[in-house]
Amino acid sequence: MKLAYKLLIVLGIFFFSQNSNAQLLDRIVRKTQKKIEREAENRTQKRIDKGIDDAFDGVEDGIDGKNKDKNKPEDANTSSTSNNDPSKNNSSNTNNEEATENTNNTPTLVWSKFDFIPGDTVIFEDGPSAEEENGEFPSRWDLDEGNAEIAEVDGTNVIVFPHGAVIVPYLKNSKDDYLPEVFTIEFDAYFSEDNHHRFWIQFYDEKNQKGNHNPITFYTDAVGFENSTGEYPKELASSGWRHFSVAFTKGKLKVYLNDTRLINLPHVEINPTGITFENDGYAADKTFQYMKNFRIAKGGVKYYDRVLSDGKIIVNGIKFDVNKATLKPESMGPINKIYKLMIKNPDVNFSVEGHTDSDGSDENNQTLSVARAKTVMNKLIEMGIDKSRLKFTGFGESKPLDNNTTPEGKANNRRVEFVKF
């Protein structure tokens, strides 16, 4: 850390020479120190974890009496979703689980790698909207530090961070604890090839609330929280958009990158009260950071309990490409749960029903809702559910659950329902 503190001194002298404002200098120094200490801790922990993994690999190789081929991918199933090809998802293993063949008295391993289920009710949503004006600050957020602007990337509005930023959701009740005991967070972040940018999420609103929790750190191929880190398989990592998911359930924390769970902590001694989103922005590698599709949702009741009480399951975590019926890879979490429920309960049959928000024409929304419902039904049949147990239909925008005037309301209306028949 000596080098880090020398860097602090140099930065302090530089900024002091540029601006005599003592408060600004103190804020910059504190922020820089926080990021340096955070980076040092994360890098140290990653090296420790790698050493532990290597040690266990050596022990397992000795027991097996063989050496592993380090360059050979151990799991062919994950490559399908990592390449954003839902049609190949779970083609060889419908539960999206690891399974090893039981030969020579070796144990059979069943390991769920992607069990993320989005919350039922969206409490904050930002695409950002196509109506946001390019170059302006994103209207769904508030600024604590730095700068963030709307930009268009490949025809889609995103949030760009020219010089790094600390932003918080713009909510009327931002000073209160607005996170329930069970909630999920999702967002997409862009990483260019070989850059070392990071994103952070704090579990409190840094502008409006008090707190001192450690943040979750999101890298291009890894995530970290406190003393726990997880790395995405190296052979599957590539530049481009990453989908991150976070699930908090009464003190239990899970963090996912794309189709893989990387952190699974049974007890986290914090009380989340709000959200702060932070990044390190434009750096020496001359690349910007982009973020889109940010969502906070309240968790809910288990699927089987919903069938018993309501006769149906409402899912807004099954996602499609814009104006298409093509499944996104992160949709497989809820679909896997539906599949398992039907396997364990052979008397449960479902009508898969699609619903949209009010954007677009009534006719197009009706057609789209039917096509999406059919896609989900066919996916379950492909996974092994008998087609006699499923049927599909669509209702377009005709049966809204929420208003169509806010991003959150529209997100709640874009859903797939599984109605028992």
Q: Cβ distance 108 to 93 under 8 Å?
A: no
Check whether the bond before 272 is cis (ω within 30° of 0): no
pLDDT-derived band of residue 125, with 50, 70 and 90 as boundaries?
A: very high
Domains in the chain, number: 3
pLDDT-derived band of residue 364, with 50, 70 and 90 as boundaries?
A: very high
Say which residues have a Cβ less than 8 Å from residue 5's Cβ, sequence separation at least 6: none
Domain boundary among 298, 325, 356: 298
Q: How far apart are CA 275 and CA 142, in angstroms?
A: 11
In a shared domain, residues 159 and 22: no
pLDDT, residue 62, reads: 45
pLDDT, residue 302, reads: 74
Q: What is the DSSP letter of 389?
A: G
Residue 74 lies in a domain: no
* Of 114-118, 224-228, 241-245, minimum mean pLDDT range: 114-118
pLDDT-derived band of residue 85, with 50, 70 and 90 as boundaries?
A: very low
- Torsion 308-312-314-317 (CA) sign: positive
In a shared domain, residues 145 and 283: yes
Q: How far apart are CA 38 and CA 69, in angstroms?
A: 34
Listed residue (277, 322, 292, 281) closest to 159, CA to CA: 292
Domain boundary among 37, 53, 69: 53
In a shared domain, residues 414 and 352: yes
Q: Is pLDDT of 56 > 50? A: no
Q: Is pLDDT of 17 > 60? A: no
pLDDT, residue 245, reads: 93
Residue 63 lies in a domain: no
Residue 116 lies in a domain: no
In a shared domain, residues 315 and 274: no
pLDDT-derived band of residue 55, with 50, 70 and 90 as boundaries?
A: very low
In a shared domain, residues 132 and 269: yes
In a shared domain, residues 19 and 164: no
Per-residue model confidence as pLDDT tens digits over 301-350: 678 777 877 889 999 889 898 889 999 888 888 898 899 999 999 999 99
pLDDT, residue 31, reads: 57
pLDDT, residue 194, reads: 62
Residue 254 lies in a domain: yes
| Sheet order of strands, 165-169 included | 141-146, 165-169, 276-279, 199-202, 216-218, 222-225, 228-231
pLDDT, residue 374, reads: 96
Q: How far apart are CA 238 and CA 258, in angstroms?
A: 12
**What average pLDDT score do residues 52-73 get?**
43
Which CATH number is 251's domain given?
2.60.120.560
For 193, the domain range is 121-298
Percentage, residues of the chain above pLDDT 90: 49
Computed over its alpha carbons, how large is the radius of gyration of the chain? 23
In a shared domain, residues 408 and 339: yes
Q: Token match 């600004």: residue? A: 24
Residue 100 lies in a domain: no
Residue 348 lies in a domain: yes
pTM: 0.64
In a shared domain, residues 127 and 200: yes
Which CATH number is 374's domain given?
3.30.1330.60
In a shared domain, residues 327 and 212: no
Pairing of strands 390-394, 350-355: parallel
Q: Is pLDDT of 48 > 90? A: no
Q: Cβ distance 25 to 34 under 8 Å?
A: no
Residue 212 lies in a domain: yes
pLDDT, residue 238, reads: 65
In a shared domain, residues 178 and 137: yes
In a shared domain, residues 329 and 374: yes
Say which residues have a Cβ less than 8 Å from residue 52's Cβ, sequence separation at least 6: none
Listed residue (419, 373, 375, 418) closest to 396, CA to CA: 373
Q: How far apart are CA 395 and CA 366, in angstroms?
A: 6
In a shared domain, residues 145 and 257: yes
Per-residue model confidence as pLDDT tens digits over 396-410: 999 999 999 999 999
Residue 78 lies in a domain: no
Domain boundary among 298, 332, 355: 298
